[in-house]
Amino acid sequence: MGILLGCIADDFTGATDLAGMLVEAGMRTVMTIGVPTSGVLIDTDALVIALKSRTIPAQEAVNQSLSALRWLQEAGCRQYFFKYCSTFDSTDQGNIGPVTDALLDALGSDFTIACPAFPKNKRTLYKGHLFVGDVLLNESGMQHHPLTPMTDANLVRVLGRQAKHRVGLVPYDTVKQGEQAIRQAFNSLAEEGYRYAIVDALEDSHLMAIGHACADMPLVTGGSGISMGLPDNFRRKGLLKAEIQADKLPTIEGKSIVLSGSCSLATQEQVASMQQKYPSFKLDPLRLAQGPEQINEAMAWAAPLLERGPVLIYATSKPEEVKAVQNKLGVERASQVIENAFAEIARRLVDVGVQKFIVAGGETSGAVVRALNVTALRIGPQIAPGVPWTTSLNDKPFALALKSGNFGSKNFFQEALDSQP
Ligand code: ADP
């Protein structure tokens, strides 16, 4: 059976978050970095295309989203989902409104919902107003966001300024009555000429009911929370088997390595904890800036040790060390030098038989993923909340655990090694 749910996410971490939720809800999920260039996917119920379209000019976001949609349509998806941030990050110019309009047009559809609610992460919607924890969106700090300052918590108004048509509301009183009442509200709004509905939601049961009411909607839009109810729709239609183990990954042969370029507090503790049991090598940005010598040293050190088991190569440092390096090299050059080093090291590790990479740091992960030519990942079981094991769809697949900054407990690296595919 082909892909059921085709998702377009407006940034990478949002895509990861959504992919993890779909796996948890029972869909075998693959995530691609950008629009896939080729390939037929087997054993895949949901595909999440990660774009970087949240803050680019609206027309570019529209173009990228439409090309993602075309790929998903060709793959035969039954339903489409446009995922944005649960704080509705956007400006009066877009990109949520213009992208939603373009996707609706392309799908020949004239109604969808916009529901960023995610109660587990303290994002709730009441009377069309988005709350972050106990306060309105525009008092949550988001009003000062450098790129998408959110100064109005009333999403009916916010979306109204971005979109071409009328925005309606399905209020809490309706939502709490459940799926049928919500579905009727959608139909009434559509008949009255509304093209989008902001939908109130205070708890997971509301998201489930809203998701169920969206079963026949070609396009659904929202945060990752609203995806919760969608897999059930496919099960009800007999398209998705209940007994599937959605987080199953293929076994990956090869050696394992931990690469750590994050300097977050959590990562510092994780590095210290791993050093108690495993050999480690520290990269020095000042030496890396002078030439490739330290990369050669790291490889000469790692290659024989890897015959016996995993090792750690890291740049993780305390804030004062980072500051000192940045003062000497400049912030950008310091990061560049280290990220380039990790990229080169990752490539050379493959030559000595490493196929499993545990990487700490968002930017560091990006550098490693690019170096390994990874453009698609199958999502597996969670090592820690928000950090799954994944396997790449390369000819010779890699196993990758990509952890940004503050995720994971002190023993994260050991936990990842213990659960590797
Ligand atoms: P996080 O997810 O914790 O933000 P990132 O990898 O995204 O981690 O960012 C950490 C950045 O810090 C990277 O660009 C990395 O190259 C840089 N960095 C790592 N170690 C050092 C260091 N010792 N000195 C200066 N910069 C460093």
Reported as a single tens digit per residue, the pLDDT across 242-260 is 888 999 999 999 999 999 9
Residues 181 and 279 in one domain: no
Residues 24 and 164 in one domain: yes
Give mean pLDDT, residues 277-306.
97
How far, in Å, from the CA of 406 to the mean position of ligand 1?
Answer: 12
Residues 133 and 223 in one domain: yes
- Structural domain that includes position 128: 5-236
Average predicted confidence (pLDDT) for the chain: 95
Closest CA to 264 of 411, 404, 77, 65: 404
With tokens 């897999």, the residue in question is 231
Measured from the CA of 283, which atom of ligand 1 is nearest? 23
pLDDT computed for residue 385 by the predictor = 83
Judge if pTM exceeds 0.85: yes
Does ligand 1 have an atom closer than 6 angstroms to the CB of 338?
yes
Q: Of 202, 236, 270, which residue constitutes the final position of a domain?
A: 236
Measured from the CA of 406, which atom of ligand 1 is nearest? 3
Does ligand 1 have an atom closer than 6 angstroms to the CB of 363?
yes
Question: With 80 as the cut, is the pLDDT of residue 38 above it?
Answer: no
Q: Distance of alpha carbon 274 from its chain centroid, rounded?
A: 27
The CATH number of residue 64's host domain is 3.40.50.10840
Distances (CA, A) of 415 to 108, 387, 401: 47, 11, 11
Reported as a single tens digit per residue, the pLDDT across 317-357 is 999 999 999 999 999 999 999 999 999 999 999 999 999 99
Report angle CA 115, 79, 83 to the nearest 5 degrees: 35
Reported as a single tens digit per residue, the pLDDT across 123-181 is 999 999 999 999 999 999 999 888 889 999 999 999 999 999 999 999 999 999 999 99
The CATH number of residue 407's host domain is 3.40.980.20
Reported as a single tens digit per residue, the pLDDT across 357-381 is 999 998 899 999 999 999 999 999 9
Residues 145 and 273 in one domain: no
- Per the domain annotation, does 356 fall within a domain? yes
For 157-162, the CB contacts below 8 A with 24+ separation are 158/88, 158/90, 159/96, 159/97, 159/114, 159/196, 159/198, 161/92, 161/97, 162/90, 162/91, 162/92, 162/93, 162/94, 162/95, 162/96, 162/97, 162/98
- Per the domain annotation, does 173 fall within a domain? yes
Residues 220 and 300 in one domain: no
- Per the domain annotation, does 70 fall within a domain? yes
Does ligand 1 have an atom closer than 6 angstroms to the CB of 178?
no
Question: With 90 as the cut, is the pLDDT of residue 12 above it?
Answer: no
Q: Is the alpha carbon torsion for 360, 122, 159, 229 positive or negative?
A: positive
Residues 231 and 292 in one domain: no
- Per the domain annotation, does 244 fall within a domain? no
Total count of domains within the chain = 2
What's the CA gap between 27 and 42, in Å, rounded?
13
Measured from the CA of 264, which atom of ligand 1 is nearest? 3
Residue nearest to atom 17 of ligand 1 (CA): 335
pLDDT computed for residue 39 by the predictor = 66
Does ligand 1 have an atom closer than 6 angstroms to the CB of 268?
no
Q: Of 207, 236, 265, which residue constitutes the final position of a domain?
A: 236
pLDDT computed for residue 26 by the predictor = 95
Reported as a single tens digit per residue, the pLDDT across 133-149 is 999 999 999 998 888 89
What's the CA gap between 18 and 34, in Å, rounded?
15
Does ligand 1 have an atom closer than 6 angstroms to the CB of 132?
no
pLDDT computed for residue 253 by the predictor = 96
By most ligand atoms within 8 Å of CB, the mutation choice from 16, 263, 339 for ligand 1 is: 263
